[in-house]
Chain A
Amino acid sequence: MSEVVTQVQSKTQVNQARTSTDILHEINEIKGVNAVVVVGRDGFVIESIGHMPNSNLDVLGAAIASAINGISEMGAELTVGDFTDLFVTYKEAMIMCFPVGDAICGIAGEDASALGMIRHKTHKLIPELELYL
């Protein structure tokens, strides 16, 4: 199915000025970002862009959903409301997550050095992304 037609310009793409794909591209262009995924709470990768050097984005999506479900349960247990933001660093990656409606936007980068810039630039884009899902 990967050989499916990609050359044909879709009417739907022509008609819409801006799409979730555009916003994902914009996030992925921020310095320090390697990949962006929008994933459902069940781990279904709704949309993704970019790459992770040591994994693939389906695995990233499933892992993010699993982690966020655990974190949401913790929030409910502690009666501290819904999850609003998650940031975690590893030796070879950093991952940020934000709720996007019922879904989750996960952003993966190499390290936390560009964290401030990523946070600043995604601040406006995440609410916009929600509008297009």
Chain B
Amino acid sequence: MTVMRDKVVKDLVNITVTHDQDGLIPNFNVLVNQLPTSFWNTFAERIIATCPADRKPALEAALIQCAYECGYHTGYGIITSQEFKSVVMPMVTEGPKDVLRGAFAVFTAWGWAKSGIVQIVEGEKMTIRATDYYEADDAKGSDKHAYMIRGISTAFFELAYSDPYPNGMGKFQCEQVKGIECGDPFGEFIVTKK
């Protein structure tokens, strides 16, 4: 047995979530919110459009860093949550590899990216593919810009294989090698050691 993402996704999408008076949803051991993907895409698009060309790499790195820091702390909340323990953990038989499979199933169920693991070299390298992700919506150019998936993938891999939380940050990096937003049939992301 290993984590079967189909079951995880089906179980998780059936969980009813309600927000509090501040618009925050207390689930999975974290506080999340629900905003239209167009909000995030417009935000990224506008901030990049107004950035001087020479500062664009730094801005892109900052966007990735935002996703990475969020992914590391939120990801820890998710994999230690009661929901994860009840839905995913019973299927975990291959240690960190299965926890990662479960994490990407959650990632999919939440609508961030229909994504999963292609290959893992434990503690060394991970290849992720995403066949549908909101950052590719309304794509207009030839640049790869799945900053969120890059940051989150790095964070998840560190949670699985780096030093125990919260001391495992800064050990890995993620490169996007393919992107739906620039004409590839899927997005592909490779996490490696820094």
Contacts and interface: CB of A to CB of B under 8 A. Distances in A.
B182 A8 contact: yes
A28 to B, nearest CB: 14
Interface string B41-79: 000000000000000000000000000000000000000
Interface stretch (B20-28, B115-123, B149-157, B162-170): B115-123
Contacts of B115: 44
A109 to B, nearest CB: 23
A4 B178 contact: no
A44 B116 contact: yes
B161 to A, nearest CB: 16
A11 B132 CA distance: 20
Given A1-B137, A40-B116, A44-B5, A9 B129 contact: no
Given A42-B105, A102-B120, A12 B132 contact: no
A76 to B, nearest CB: 11
A42 B4 contact: yes
Contacts, number: 89
Interface in B121-146: 127, 129, 131-134, 136-137, 139-142
Interface range on chain A: under 10, 10 to 19, 20 to 34, or 35 or more? 20 to 34
Nearest to B121: A102
Contacts of A47: 129, 185-186
A7 interface: yes
Interface in B156-194: 177-186
B5 A43 contact: yes
Contacts of A10: 142, 178-179, 182-184
B119 A133 contact: yes
Interface of B: 1-6, 98, 101, 104-105, 115-120, 127, 129, 131-134, 136-137, 139-142, 177-186
Given A5-B182, A42-B101, A46-B129, 5 more contacts: A8-B183, A42-B116, A43-B4, A47-B129, A58-B6
8 contacts: A1-B134, A8-B141, A8-B183, A12-B177, A44-B5, A44-B104, A46-B118, A103-B119
